C-alpha cells in the first residue's frame, strides 16, 4: 500500500508508463516508479501530458544520497484528479552525478534543481541557470552528501540513542 493518502500505486503507474515508453521504466514498488535516468524527461513529459495520470505539477524534487548512488525523487501531483505520483530516478555515477533537467517539462524545477545541485551535487544537464543557490560559488563540496564531513573522521548519521548502552548500532 502506498503511504500517501492520495498516492497512486507505483506498479499501476509503471504499467501504464511501460506500455507507452518501455525503455523508461526501471522498476516499481507500491510506493514509487523507478525510471531510467536518461529517459527521465520523456517519462515526466508523458506523465504530465497523459490524460489519465495528468501529473500537472511537480510538487517536490529532492535527492537522496545512497552511499554509492543518488536517487532523485520527484513528487508529482495531478490537481484535477487529485492524486500523487512518486517517481525515482537513479543516478549511478557517484563521483560525477548527472541527470537531464526536467525544467523543460516543469518550470517549477528551476529552483529545486538548483538547490539539489547546490547541496547534493547532482548536475542537471540542460538546466538554463545551474548555479549554486544557497552557498557561494567555489564552496568546497556538497554538504548533503553523506561523505561531506568524513574528512575529519566524522561519520554521518546518529549511531544510536544516548541511553542505549547495549546493541549500539555502528554503521
Partner 1 sequence: MSAALDPIRLRARLAPRTLARGVIAFAAFVALNVAIAALVVSGALDGEWYDFRDLGLGVQQLREWLDEQTADQPGWLTDILRSTTWLSYLVTALLGATGILSFVGGVLLVLIWVERRLIGRIQVRRGPNRVGPFGLLQPVADAIKLIQKETLIPVGADRVMFFLPPVLVFIPGLLVWAPVPWAPHMTYVDTNVGVLYLVAIGSLATLAIFMAGWSSNNHYALLGAMRTVAMMISYEIPLALSLLTVVVLTGSAQLSAIVEWQSVHNVWIVVLLPLTLFTFFFASTAELNRTPNDIAEAESEIVAGFHTEYSGMKFGLFYAVELGNAVAVSALTAALFLGGWSMFGLQEWVPAYLLFATKVAAVYFVLVWLRGTLPRFRLDQLMAFAWKYLIPLALLNLGVVAIEAALFRRWEGEGVVVLGGFALANGLLTVVAVRGWARFLGYAPEREPLLRPTLTTGVGGLRAVDRMRTTR
Partner 2 sequence: MTTASDPYVLNIGPQHPSTHGVFRLRVVMDGEHLQDVDMVVGYLHRSMEKLAEERTYAQNIPFTDRTDYLAAMSNNLGYCLAAELLAGVEVPERASYLRVIFAELQRIASHSMANGTFINDAGAWQTPLMYMFREREKILDLFEMTCGARLTTNYMRIGGVAFEPPPEFYPAVDALVAELPDRIGEYTELLVDNEILLARARDVGVLSPADAINASITGPVLRASGVPWDLRKAEPYCAYDRFDFGIPVGHHGDCYDRFLVRLEEMRQSVRIIRQALDGLPSGAHKTEIPLALRPEPGEAYARVEGPRGELGFYVVSDGGPAPFRFHIRAPSLINLSLLREMAVGSSLPDAIVTLGSLDIVVGEIDR
The footprint of partner 2 (CB under 8 A) covers: 3-6, 31, 56-60, 62, 64-65, 73, 75, 79, 82, 86, 106-112, 115, 119, 132-136, 143-144, 148, 156-158, 160-161, 163-164, 169, 171
| Interface residues toward partner 1, by CB under 8 A | 54, 56-57, 78-80, 82
Rg (CA), the chain: 18
Minimum distance from CB of 22 to partner 2 (Å)?
Answer: 26
Nearer to partner 2, 39 or 77 (CB): 77
Q: What is the DSSP string of 109-168?
A: HHHHHHHHHHHH--EEET-TT---SSSPTT-SS-TTSTTTTGGGTPPSS--S-TT--TT-
Least Å distance between CB 163 and partner 1? 45
51: number of Cβ within 10 Å: 7
Measured between alpha carbons, how far apart are the two ends of the chain, in Å? 29
> Between residues 57 and 60, which has the closer beta carbon with respect to partner 1?
57
CB of 51 to partner 2, least distance (A): 16
Minimum CB distance to partner 2 smaller for 5 or for 153: 5
- Torsion angle of C-alpha atoms 141, 125, 95, 14, degrees rounded to 10: 120
Amino acid at each position: 500500500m502506498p503511504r500517501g493518502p492520495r498516492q497512486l500505486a507505483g506498479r499501476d503507474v509503471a504499467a501504464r508508463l511501460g506500455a507507452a515508453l518501455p525503455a523508461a521504466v526501471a522498476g516499481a514498488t507500491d510506493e514509487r516508479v523507478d525510471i531510467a535516468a536518461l529517459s527521465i524527461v520523456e517519462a515526466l513529459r508523458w506523465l504530465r501530458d497523459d490524460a489519465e495520470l495528468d501529473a500537472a505539477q511537480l510538487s517536490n524534487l529532492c535527492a537522496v544520497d545512497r552511499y554509492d548512488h543518488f536517487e532523485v525523487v520527484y513528487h508529482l501531483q495531478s490537481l484535477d484528479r487529485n492524486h500523487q505520483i512518486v517517481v525515482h530516478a537513479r543516478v549511478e555515477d557517484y563521483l560525477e552525478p548527472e541527470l537531464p533537467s526536467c525544467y523543460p517539462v516543469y518550470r517549477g524545477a528551476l529552483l529545486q534543481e538548483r538547490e539539489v545541485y547546490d547541496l547534493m551535487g547532482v548536475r542537471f544537464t540542460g538546466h538554463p541557470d545551474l548555479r549554486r543557490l544557497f552557498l557561494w560559488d567555489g564552496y568546497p563540496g556538497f554538504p548533503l552528501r553523506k561523505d561531506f564531513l568524513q574528512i575529519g573522521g566524522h561519520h554521518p548519521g546518529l549511531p544510536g540513542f544516548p541511553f542505549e548502552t547495549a546493541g549500539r548500532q555502528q554503521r
